[in-house]
Amino acid sequence: MPTIAVIDYDMGNLHSVCKGLEKTGATPKITDSPIEIEQADAVILPGVGSFDPAVQHLRSRHLETPIKQVIASGKPFLGICLGLQILFESSEEGQEPGLGILAGKVRRFKSEPGLTIPQMGWNQLQFTQLNHPLWSEITSQPWVYFVHSYYVDPTDSQVTAATVTHGHQTVTAAVGQNNLMAVQFHPEKSSTLGLQILSNFVSKVISENLALAG
């Protein structure tokens, strides 16, 4: 089964993600080693917390370049929650530049009467990339678990793979661009459906490996 590097930069829900991956049959490896990240079959960037500390920790561990190299190489890559947001250029949450792998900005939900910020709990996805590999064998409008006050606003709307509506605001909940996949929700906290999403990612990794071997 594939080895999946789970990047450790002191901002992650690492063990929950790893338990989810193990249930799919994958072998997760928590690491901050650029060599181990390069050698893995796929890479996951989880994250909980604030934007500025996240990118500061990544840069202090010299992980920005390895992450960009992995994505450029075509290796399957999955960002989760904050691991989605820091792929973008900047955030209203802080001053640090993001990784800039995807064009766009991270924005805070606008206040409106009766709206709870952060969005915390279960909400329904609306798929915009219907054939995205993460959505395989998942029925439309699935319920997944969110905890966030900020959302990504891509410059190119075509990278949006799913949206979610919170109050009167419909925002990007997942992105997909070639081998790069990232979600705002927590698949590791989204019960059986979340495990299916992680399993779909692992299946993508296996199919990529078979294609390379062939």
Which residues are identified as catalytic? 81, 186, 188
Q: Which two tokens stand for residue 97?
A: 């530049």
For residue 69, what are its two tokens? 């190299």
Whole-number Å distance between alpha carbons of 63 and 129: 29
The residues pairing with 43 across neighbouring beta strands, listed in sequence order, are 5, 77
Smallest CA-to-CA distance from 79 within 141, 3, 136, 161 is with 161
Q: How far, in Å, CA of 180 to CA of 178, rounded? A: 6
Tokens, residue 27: 């072998």
| Residue (of 148, 135, 68) closest to 100 by Cα position | 68
Neighbours of 50 (CB within 10 A): 18
